[in-house]
Amino acid sequence: MAETLGMLCDKLTIVKLKQFHSEDSNKLSVLNGQAVQLQEEIDQFVMQAFSGEIPLHKLTFASNKVFKREGNETSIITGNIGAVFYQLADINCKLWHEVDKGYDIDSIPNEEKGNLIKSLAVLNLERNNCIDEIDRIMHNLVENKLKA
């Protein structure tokens, strides 16, 4: 299995955003199917993780972003899986709208383009931090359960 819980949660939030922003019934039908499939994959992943079917080392896949930290401060990601999943959804909503601005980059004044690029970079870092944190929490929960 190449995916982690954090990655699956990320995909589900993106599918939900696509559903929210679409009115095309064909696309919505496909997206509904993707949402159901991802929910099932999340349930299966959690069951397999807690049953020991997924080795502990495969519960995480750190993004290990290489970037200049100074000047690229990100929000602190804290809480349980539900709280971090909520933060991930919020960040993906913000990221969606910033990316949407980029689709009409020619209408953005040159002096504001740098701000958009910076915002996209920081939001993407925060998104990866959420994914990594969900994975870290899941790893710790499973590790503690398997030790018990």
pLDDT in tens, 46-57: 999 999 999 999
Q: Supply the DSSP symbol for 79.
A: S
CA–CA distance, 87 with 120 (Å, rounded to integer)? 16
Q: Which amino acid is at 90?
A: D
- Predicted local confidence at residue 148, as pLDDT: 82
**What confidence tier does 23 reach under pLDDT thresholds 50, 70, 90?**
very high
Count CB-CB contacts under 10 A for residue 67: 12
**Measured between alpha carbons, how far is 138 from 125 in angstroms, rounded to an integer?**
20
Instruction: List, in sequence order, the alpha helices (H) in 21-106.
Output: 25-51, 81-102
Q: Where are the domains of the chain?
A: 5-147
Q: Is the separation of the CB atoms in 22 and 101 below 8 Å?
A: no
- Answer whether residue 115 shows pLDDT above 80: yes
Q: What is the pLDDT of residue 71?
A: 78
Neighbours of 127 (CB within 10 A): 23
Measure the CA–CA gap between 56 and 112, rounded to whole angstroms. Answer: 45
Q: Distances from the Cα of 39 to the Cαs of 19, 35, 49, 111, in angstroms? A: 15, 6, 15, 42
Which pTM value belongs to this model? Answer: 0.91
Q: What percent of the chain has a predicted confidence (pLDDT) above 90?
A: 86
pLDDT score, position 73: 84
Instruction: Evaluate if residue 70 carries a pLDDT over 80.
Output: no
pLDDT tens track for 120-139: 999 999 999 999 999 999 99
> Looking at residue 104, what is its pLDDT?
92
Residue with tokens 């929960």: 141
Distance of alpha carbon 125 from its chain centroid, rounded? 10
Q: Which residues have C-beta within 8 Å of that of residue 142, sequence separation ≥ 6?
A: 49, 50, 56, 59
pLDDT value at 1 more than 70? no
Q: Does position 67 have pLDDT exceeding 80, yes or no?
A: no
Give the model's pLDDT for residue 9: 97
User: Residues 111-124: what's their mean pLDDT?
Assistant: 93
Phi and psi, residue 27, nearest 5°? -65, -40
- Band of the pLDDT at 114, cuts 50, 70, 90? very high
pLDDT of residue 107: 93
